[in-house]
Structure 1
Amino acid sequence: MSGIAPAVLEHYLVRTRWFGGKSRPFQVSRVQTIAELTSHSPSMDVLVTLVTVDYSDDEGGHETYQVPLAHYDDTQDAIAHAYIGTVEHDDRVRHLYDAVHDRYAMALWLEGLIAAETSGHAERGGLRFRRVPGTESLDPGLRSSPLTGEQSNSSVRFDDTAIMKVFRKVSPGLNPDIEIHEELTQGHSEYIAALYGWVEVDLDGEVVQLAMMQEFLRTASDGFELATGSVRTLLAEPGQSISESGGDFAGEASRLGTAVAEVHARLRERFPVERRGPRAAASLARTMNERLDRALLVVPELSAYEDRLRLAYTGVAALPGLDVQRVHGDLHLGQTLRTAQGWRIVDFEGEPGRPFAERSLLDSPWRDVAGMLRSFDYVPGVVEMSHAAPADGPVDTDDDLRAASGREWSQRARGHFLDAYVAALCRTDSAGADAASPGDEESILADNRTLLNAYAADKAVYEAVYEKRNRPTWVAIPLTALGEV
C-alpha cells in the first residue's frame, strides 16, 4: 500500500471529524501498513494503515492516525461518502474507502473478536483480538453502521448489541480507555458499559491498541444533548423560573454526581492510590503554568486573564499534598449517557492531546469534578450562541434575560452535582464506619476548594485551545468563564 500518494490522504483527513489538525499546516510524511485482513470476497480486502502527520507551524510536532482502508476493484456507491482515492496494489488499480463506513469490512473485526471468545485471544492478519472473560457472546450476523457526531474517534454500532470504538489518533502503550474499562467490567461496576474486547498490534516491540468493543446501551441518551435540551426548554420563554419551565436539571445533576463518586470509589479499589506531599502540589502547579505558557501561543486572548490564572496556580503550589488515584481524565457531559437504569460514564481515554504515559498517571479526582462543573457552564453558552442575532441584525431584548437564566441553570446544576458528589464521597469513604455528617461534607469542600478552582481554570485554558483550533466561534465560552476566575 506504500504507493498511495500522501496528498490523497491529506485531502481525506481534512474532511473528517476526528482529525485534530485541520486548522494547522500539515503534511503526511509516512503511510505504514500494519495489518491485512482478507475478506470472503476476492474483490475486497482491508489494509490497516497508520498515517503520520507532520506539522509545520511554531508548535510543530507530529501525530499518528489510524486509517483502515477497504480496497475494491470497482467503485462502491453505497459508501461513496467515505471514498479516499485510488492506489495501485498487486498490479491492479484499487479504489480506497475508509473501512469504518463499510459493513463488509467491519464484519472482519467482528469475526476476529468472536474467534477470541474461547481462549481470550486470536490472531488474524497481523492483528491480535482480545476478549474479556465472562462477557456476552457476539453473533456473527450482527450488522454494523457507523455513528455520526463530533468526536476524536470513530464509533461503529453492531445492531443493538455492541458498539466498537476505532481509535483514530494512536500511540504505543496501553490505552486508558481499555485498561480502565477492563478493570471496571471485571469489578462489575454498574456505572459503565461493559467491555467485551479489544484489538491491538505489536509494532517495534511495543503494543498499539487500535479498537475496543463494548456493550451497546439501548436506552441511552447523550448527557450533553439532554442538558442542552433542558436549557432550550428554559430559554424558550425568557423570564420564567426554572421550576416553571420544565427545564430544571438539578435532579439529573445530583444523580450524575453520585455516579461519578461511585466510579471514583471503584477506581480506588481496582488501581493504586497514593498520598503525595507538597512536592506533588508544586509539580501540579508547575504543570498548569506550563500548559498556560503553551496555550498563550495558540490563544493570545488568554493574556487578559494570565495574572489571575497564575495566582490560582500559586495557591495549588502552597498545598500540603495531594490524594491521587486513577481518574477519567477528560470528564464532561459528552462523556456520559443517561439510560433507563441511570447514568453511565464512558470514554476513559483521557485528554486526546496528551500521550498515554501522562493520561495513565495518578491524579486527583477533583480534576474530573472540575471538568464536569465546566461542562455544566458550557451548556448555556452553547445554547445562547444559537439564539444570537447577526451583528447587523435587530437587537433581541430578551438576550439579557436568557443570559441570566442560563447562568442560574448552570449554577443550580453545578451546585447539585457537587453536593451529591461530596455526599457520595463521604458514604464510599466511610463504608463500614459511622455515617458521615453534613459537617464532614463542608470540610471536604473547604479543604479542596483551592484545588477544585485551579483545575476548573486549567480546564478552561484547555478548552480555549481546543476551540481556537476546532471551533473558533466557541472560544468566547471558556474565555468568559476565565473572566470569573
Structure 2
Amino acid sequence: MAETVTPSGTTTPGSLLASLDPLLREWLPRQRWFAGKGRPVTGFSPVAATELLPSDGKLGLHHLLVRAHQPPVLGAPAQPGDCYQLLIGVREALPPRLAPALIGHVTGGPLAGHTVYDALYDPRPAEVILEALRARARIGGLRFERDPGQEIGDGLVARLLTAEQSNSSVVYGDTFILKLLRRVVPGVNPDLELPLALAREGCARVPAPTAWLRADVAGDAYVLAVLQPFVQGASDGWELALRELAKGEDFAAEARALGRATAEVHLALARALPTVTLGHGPLRNLVDGMVERLTAAAQAVPALRPYEAGLRSAYRALDELAAEGRTWTAQRVHGDLHLGQCLRSPSGGTAHASSSGGAWSLIDFEGEPARPLSERRMPQPPVRDIAGMLRSFDYAAHSVTPPAPGWAAACRDAYCSGYAEAAGSDPRTDPVLLRAYETDKAVYEVVYEARHRPDWLPVPLSAVRRLATTSPSPRRPRP
C-alpha cells in the first residue's frame, strides 16, 4: 500500500499543553513508567503535538511529546527534563469502563469543558494507531512505517495490557502486540534496531518487527513504538518461574533451555553487527563506569555503604586481569535480560523446545532505560546479559517464603550449562568477569528498588553482601 501523507496533523503545542499542565502535574508522577519518582513536576515544555482525531467530535485524540521539568537530584547537575510520549483521548464525558484512564477535566484552553484520559485504555484510539501503521501514514512529524513483506489485517480489537511495565503495551486480537515507549530520547533505539538485525539474520528466537512509529522533531529522530507478532498462549518467564517455585517444582530444565536460547541470540547478534576486542584501555573505561555507578549508588542509598569497599574489589580484580594482558570480545547484547524479558511458547519445534515442549523467545531490547542511549548501544561482553539472568533467578528465589537459594543455584548452573552447549564457552570459566558484571547489576538493582520498590531492597542487598566478600577462582563447570 502506498504511503499516506496527511498534510497537517500538527496542533499548537503551547496552548494545548498549558490547558493540560495542572492535570498532568498530578497524573504523570503516578504512572508506573514515570522515571522521576519522589520529585515534584515543576512544569512542562512541549516537544511536539499532533492531532490524530479532531477534538470537535465525540472522540478526540492527541499525540504529545512533552518534557517534564523537576528539581535536580541532590548533588547532581541540572538536567533538561525527561521527554514522555502521551496519547491523550478527549471526550465530553468518560464512560465508566474508562474510569481507570482518567487524567482530569479541562477548565481552560482549547480543550475546555472536555474530559481527557490515557487513550490506550480505549480500543478505538488504540486501533487508530494500528490503522496508521497499516497505511504507512505520515501525520505531522509522525512516521508510521511497516515491513512491506508483512501485512496487518483488519478487525483486530485492541486491549491494553495492565501489568506494571516501564512502557505500555497493547495487544491487537491476539495477533500483534504494540510496545509504546513512554520515556523517549532521540537516536537509534535498540528496541527496534536489534530485532530488525536479528530478523535479517533469520534468528527465530526474537519476534521480527512488523511495523514501527518514528517522529522527526527539529532535526531529531525518535523511535516511539514497535509492533511485533503476539505469541499467543506464551508464558512470561518470571510468572512461569514463580508458578514452578510455588509448586516446589524443579526449574533447571527450563533454565537450561533458556541458556541455549540466550546463546543463540548472542551468536546471531555477533554475526549481524560488528564486534570489538576489549584490551586494557577499553576495559578500564568499562571498569571506571562501574566504579562511578557504585560511588553514586552508595551516596543515594546509605544501606550500600558498608559494602562499598568489598564491591570495588570485584572491579579492581577485573582491571588487574586486563592489565596482565587478558582481552575479551564485546558485541551488541540485550542489555537488560531477566526472566520477565523472556517468553516460553506453549509448544515449539524440537530444535527450540524445552523439556515441557515449549520454546523460549527473548523480547524487549530497549536496555536499562535509566542508562543513556549511547551506553545502551555500546558493545559489551555477552556476560552482561548472563549476569542479568543470574540475578533474576535470585530474585525469583527470594519472592517466596522462606527464600529458596538452592533453587536459584540449580537454575544458575543449568542456565550456564545450556549457554555453553550452544555457545561453546561457559561463562563460569571466567569468574572475575562474571563477578564484576553481577556486582554492577546488583548495584543498579539497589538504586532501583530504593527509589521504586523499597520492600524489595533486601533482595539485591543480600546479593551485595555475597558479592562483596566473594573471591572468585576458576572452577570446573557442572555438566
Q: Same fold (TM over 0.5)?
A: yes
Tell me, yes or no, if the aligned pair for 1:280 and 1:322 is still in contact at 8 Å: no
Instruction: Give yes or no for the alignment of 1:166 onto 2:180.
Output: yes
- Counterpart CA distance in 1 for 2:186 and 2:110 is 30
Which residue identity lines up with residue 294 of structure 1 in the other structure? Answer: A
Matches within 5 A, 1:265-276: 265-276=267-278
**Residue in 2 that maps onto 1:457:** 439
- Counterpart CA distance in 2 for 1:337 and 1:91 is 42
Shift, 1:138, TM fit: 1.2
TM-score, normalising length from structure 2?
0.87
Matches within 5 A, 1:99-178: 99-116=119-136, 122-135=137-150, 137-178=151-192
Choose 158-167 or 182-191, whichever is displaced more.
Answer: 182-191
Instruction: Give yes or no for the alignment of 1:479 onto 2:443.
Output: no
Tell me, yes or no, if the aligned pair for 2:55 and 2:61 is still in contact at 8 Å: no
Tell me, yes or no, if the aligned pair for 1:110 and 1:140 is still in contact at 8 Å: no
Residue from 217, 222, 227 that aligns with 1:208: 222
Choose 449-458 or 62-71, whichever is displaced more.
Answer: 62-71
Which residue identity lines up with residue 346 of structure 1 in the other structure? Answer: I
Residue from 409, 414, 417 that aligns with 1:416: 414
- Counterpart CA distance in 1 for 2:44 and 2:257 is 47
Choose 350-359 or 460-469, whichever is displaced more.
Answer: 350-359
Tell me, yes or no, if the aligned pair for 2:92 and 2:115 is still in contact at 8 Å: yes
Q: What's the % identity of the aligned pairs?
A: 39
Question: Could you give the per-residue CA deviations for residues 64-88 of structure 1, whole angstroms, max 9, x where no partner exists?
Answer: 1111101123333331211112334
**Residue in 1 that maps onto 2:351:** none
Question: Could you give the per-residue CA deviations for residues 307-341 of structure 1, whole angstroms, max 9, x where no partner exists?
Answer: 11111001121222331111000000010011122
**1:383 aligns to what SS in structure 2?**
coil
Unpaired segments ≥5 residues, structure 2: 1-15, 349-358, 468-479
Which residue identity lines up with residue 416 of structure 2 in the other structure? Answer: L
**Residue in 1 that maps onto 2:338:** 332
Tell me, yes or no, if the aligned pair for 1:39 and 1:108 is still in contact at 8 Å: no
**2:162 aligns to what SS in structure 1?**
coil
- Counterpart CA distance in 2 for 1:351 and 1:72 is 36
- Counterpart CA distance in 2 for 1:147 and 1:41 is 29
Shift, 1:419, TM fit: 1.2
- Counterpart CA distance in 2 for 1:95 and 1:186 is 45
Instruction: Give yes or no for the alignment of 1:24 onto 2:39.
Output: yes
Which residue identity lines up with residue 180 of structure 1 in the other structure? Answer: L
**Residue in 2 that maps onto 1:187:** 201
Which residue identity lines up with residue 379 of structure 1 in the other structure? Answer: A
Alignment CA distance shift 1:10-1:283 (3 Å): same
**Residue in 1 that maps onto 2:474:** none
Question: Could you give the per-residue CA deviations for residues 356-383 of structure 1, whole angstroms, max 9, x where no partner exists?
Answer: 1211111111100000001001111122
- Counterpart CA distance in 2 for 1:466 and 1:288 is 16
Alignment CA distance shift 1:452-1:469 (3 Å): same
Tell me, yes or no, if the aligned pair for 1:283 and 1:317 is still in contact at 8 Å: no
Shift, 1:40, TM fit: 11
**2:378 aligns to what SS in structure 1?**
coil
Residue from 1, 18, 21 that aligns with 1:3: 18
Shift, 1:92, TM fit: 4.7
**Residue in 2 that maps onto 1:196:** 210
Tell me, yes or no, if the aligned pair for 1:156 and 1:163 is still in contact at 8 Å: yes
Instruction: Give yes or no for the alignment of 1:64 onto 2:83.
Output: yes
**Residue in 2 that maps onto 1:282:** 284
Residue from 392, 409, 424 that aligns with 1:375: 392
Shift, 1:229, TM fit: 1.4
Matches within 5 A, 1:33-52: 33-38=48-53, 42-52=57-67
Which residue identity lines up with residue 187 of structure 2 in the other structure? Answer: G
| Cα-Cα RMSD | 1.8
Choose 162-171 or 86-95, whichever is displaced more.
Answer: 86-95
**2:367 aligns to what SS in structure 1?**
coil
Question: Could you give the per-residue CA deviations for residues 280-302 of structure 1, whole angstroms, max 9, x where no partner exists?
Answer: 11111100000011111221111
Tell me, yes or no, if the aligned pair for 1:330 and 1:371 is still in contact at 8 Å: yes
**Residue in 2 that maps onto 1:407:** 405
Residue from 351, 367, 380 that aligns with 1:350: 367
Tell me, yes or no, if the aligned pair for 1:38 and 1:125 is still in contact at 8 Å: no
- Counterpart CA distance in 1 for 2:111 and 2:41 is 31
**Residue in 2 that maps onto 1:468:** 450
- Counterpart CA distance in 2 for 1:269 and 1:205 is 32
Alignment CA distance shift 1:412-1:377 (3 Å): same
Shift, 1:156, TM fit: 0.4
**1:484 aligns to what SS in structure 2?**
helix
Alignment CA distance shift 1:350-1:364 (3 Å): same
Tell me, yes or no, if the aligned pair for 1:273 and 1:325 is still in contact at 8 Å: yes
Which residue identity lines up with residue 23 of structure 2 in the other structure? Answer: V
TM-score, normalising length from structure 1?
0.86
Shift, 1:228, TM fit: 1.2
Tell me, yes or no, if the aligned pair for 2:337 and 2:389 is still in contact at 8 Å: yes
Which residue identity lines up with residue 357 of structure 1 in the other structure? Answer: S
**Residue in 2 that maps onto 1:309:** 311
Tell me, yes or no, if the aligned pair for 1:28 and 1:51 is still in contact at 8 Å: no
**Residue in 2 that maps onto 1:97:** 117
Tell me, yes or no, if the aligned pair for 2:48 and 2:217 is still in contact at 8 Å: no
Q: How many residues align?
A: 432
Tell me, yes or no, if the aligned pair for 2:19 and 2:109 is still in contact at 8 Å: no
**1:414 aligns to what SS in structure 2?**
helix
Choose 13-22 or 150-159, whichever is displaced more.
Answer: 13-22
**2:103 aligns to what SS in structure 1?**
strand
Shift, 1:133, TM fit: 3.4
Alignment CA distance shift 1:91-1:194 (3 Å): closer
Which residue identity lines up with residue 351 of structure 1 in the other structure? Answer: E
**1:145 aligns to what SS in structure 2?**
strand
